[in-house]
Amino acid sequence: MTNETKLYKVIRYLFLIGACIFVIIPLVPLIFMAFKTGAEYSSTSVLEPPKNFLNTYNFKYAIRVGNLGKAFLNTAIILTISLIIQVTLTCMVAYVLHRFDFMFKKVVKIMFTLTMFIPVVATQNLIFRMMYAVGLVNTMWSVILLYSGVGIVGIYIMLNQLDGISKEIDEAAYIDGAGYFYTFARIIFPLMKPACTTMIIINGIGLYNDFYIPNLYLNRDVQTFTVALYKFFGSMATPFEIVAAAIIIGMIPIIIVFIFLQKYIYNGLAGSVKM
């Protein structure tokens, strides 16, 4: 049963196709550019397709010169360590807040909620001084440390999940003689996998794309992928068609992630506002 008239259906398709064109048009010249030779780039219009779509010279050059492989590896290391810490700590906090009553519980909750009010950019002035003082600037640990905090959105995602896990499971475990830690680690934590997946994807995209923090702390020897791309792009010596190729390379992992996990991205982001 539907009340969609023919006119509505036509308008819907026209609007959606228009929206897709709006998304795609800025991307087209970039894709063309990555396959053009230097001479071709300077002599043709940006919207003219390349003569040879099999020209992989720019891609090879970008990988060789831009140190992109190393930067990718750095990003992968930072992401893996930070996400493991972040998700584990968030599960722990959410579990304690959901299952136990204790003194100062309200205070703890308020403390986590209030961080929403504090923009990251308004804290780095001093954090940078602290990091500098302990010698962490220009090491991955500065960024990993900053990324390892527990955010309120993550806590809410986990609390929602815990609502669906019966408390009787915990109590049965206690009766069987399991300790608090064992109950959490072996029984509850595995049941929280769906929420963990959502959090890993949403935060993973955010961290992979983050520029502000890595640019501040890692802009010399150790670089993340976004920073390497920025340095590459910022140096006037790099021809633009090479930059275009480097960018296409940077888009590949995120597009692969997306193809496999589209459903989680839509549901996860939507879920994170239903707090």
Among 10, 65, 84, 116, binds another protein (CB under 8 A): 116
Site for another protein in 185-204 (CB under 8 A): none
* 3-class SS of residue 82: helix
Q: Among 54, 106, 125, 237, which residue interacts with another protein (rule: CB under 8 A)?
A: 125
Q: Figure out which of the listed residues 143, 150, 213, 245 binds another protein, where binding follows CB under 8 A.
A: 150
Least CB distance from residue 92 to another protein, whole Å? Answer: 4
Site for another protein in 239-258 (CB under 8 A): 240, 243-244, 247, 250-251, 254-255, 258
Is 246 in contact with 236 (CB distance < 8 Å)? no
The yes or no reply on residue 260 touching another protein (CB under 8 A) is no
Alpha helices, DSSP H only, in the chain?
6-24, 28-34, 38-43, 57-65, 68-99, 105-114, 124-133, 140-147, 152-163, 167-175, 180-182, 189-191, 193-209, 212-217, 225-234, 240-272
Residue of 180, 191, 197, 238 interacting with another protein (CB under 8 A): 180
Residues 35-94 that bind another protein (CB under 8 A): 45-47, 89-90, 92-93
Return the residue of 80, 115, 166, 235 that touches another protein, per CB under 8 A.
Answer: 115
Which of 250, 252, 259, 248 has its CA nearest to residue 224?
250
In the complex, minimum distance from the CB of residue 193 to another protein, in angstroms, rounded to a whole number: 19
Residue 179 touching another protein (CB under 8 A): yes
CB-based contact 248:178 (threshold 8 Å) = no
Q: Pick from 146, 162, 196, 213: which binds another protein (CB under 8 A)?
A: 146
- The token pair at 32 is 């063309």
Distance of CA 268 to the CA centre of its chain: 13
Which of 196, 229 has the CB closer to another protein? Answer: 229
- Write out the binding residues for another protein, residues 216-235 only, by CB under 8 A: 216, 226, 229-230, 233
CA distance to 6, 52, 90, 91, per residue, from 103 (Å): 61, 69, 20, 20
